[in-house]
Amino acid sequence: MLLGLFIGFLLGLGLAAAIAVYFFKTPIPFTARNATPAKSDGKGDAKKGEDGKPRFDFYRILPGQEEPVTDKQLKDSAKQATKGAAEPSKDAYFIQAGAFQNPADADNLKAKLALMGLEAVVEPTDVPEKGTWYRVRLGPLTSVEEINRIRSQLAQNAITGSLVKVKPAP
């Protein structure tokens, strides 16, 4: 009987050690690998070319009426709205927090944004010669104050978001 208790104790200890090793070896979801956000002036110069436009061309590849928006363009449209334009703008803005080939990665970012109190949508998009990409977007947003609030909240959590303007189909 003493030998049976000893063998049971060793089996339990071995099983507990195996479970602990398994949990410590798996990656932890929702942790920022580089928790310190990069210092910048808020304009995202590292992602823009010399002419001030984003240096990525996937916005031209994707179908639809989408175009990237710079901070200067956003401020200009805000000034036009405050001056009392003849008709309100029908443009809708989205903040794209990420684009992934793996849908699980997109769902993880969506869940992280949900924990921050932000509602995101995962949109699958077929990119020619690259397959299906899953975009994580916040929006549609219409007010500049709301856009700036969400962008600052993303920056505090080390998430870079790009602003995209979507024009309605005529």
Can you give the residue ranges of every domain in the chain?
Answer: 45-166
Quick one: pLDDT at residue 16? 95
Quick one: pLDDT at residue 79? 63
Identify the helix (H) or strand (E) that includes residue 132. strand 131-141
Domain 45-166 superfamily per CATH: Sporulation related repeat (3.30.70.1070)
Rounded Cα–Cα distance for residues 75 and 144 (Å)? 8
- Say which residue, 70 or 151, is predicted with more confidence: 151
pLDDT at 108 over 80: yes
Tokens of 145: 């104050």
Percent of the chain with pLDDT over 90: 33
Q: Taking all residues of the chain, what is their mean pLDDT, rounded to a whole number?
A: 76
Lowest mean pLDDT segment, chosen from 31-40, 95-104, 141-150, 156-165? 31-40
Rounded Cα–Cα distance for residues 167 and 170 (Å)? 9
Quick one: pLDDT at residue 62? 47
Percent of the chain with pLDDT over 70: 60
Write the DSSP assignment of 23-56 as a string of letters.
HHHSPPTT--SS-SPPP--SS-GGGB-TTSSBS-
CA distances from 2 to 5, 8, 10, 88, 111 (A): 5, 10, 12, 84, 50
Instruction: State the pTM of this model.
Output: 0.53
- Say which residue, 12 or 169, is predicted with more confidence: 12
Neighbour order of strands in the sheet with 120-127: 66-68, 162-166, 92-100, 131-141, 120-127
Q: pLDDT per residue over 56-70, tens digit each?
A: 544 444 455 566 666
Lowest mean pLDDT segment, chosen from 27-36, 40-49, 135-144, 156-165? 40-49
Q: For 11, how many CA atoms within 13 A lie in the half-sphere containing its CB?
A: 6
